[in-house]
Amino acid sequence: MDDEAADIRGIELASPELVEKMRRKGRVIEFAEAGSEALRYLDTMKANANVGGELLTNILIRGDVRTIEIWEEFLHGTQKKCGLIDDSVATTSAEIHVKRFMIQHRRMIGISEEDSSLLERMAVAIESTGQ
């Protein structure tokens, strides 16, 4: 991801209720603890959250994960399930698609106007650099 987009963080912290709701939808969510390999991985990736696993259902998050960060990783799993992500799809297009989806459906998934504006800035930054 573009450095500018990676430096932008959402305003609203993800609630414990949102994390639990995602777990009930089949996601495995792990908090990266201080000094852990998981936290070193997020630091290396310059990420606040990351999704992995064969079906993109394992979500790794920092303790201060923002609502838009965890929703983005959750939705990458949904993209995979729907066939929108596979080996032939560029990561960039999946990143832009998920951000546009979150903006369009912000009320449905509980994203604030401020965080929606930040998502727009991220999408534009990715589009302008292609990363």
Phi/psi at 59 (nearest 5 deg)?
A: -110, 125
**The predicted structure's pLDDT at residue 101:** 97
Query: Which token pair is 58?
Result: 């394992």
Which residues, given as ranges, of the chain have pLDDT below 50? 1-2
**pTM, full prediction:** 0.90
pLDDT tens digits, 84-119: 888 766 688 899 999 999 999 999 999 999 999 999
Q: In the chain, where does DSSP find H-type helix?
A: 3-7, 16-24, 37-45, 67-81, 91-104, 106-109, 113-129
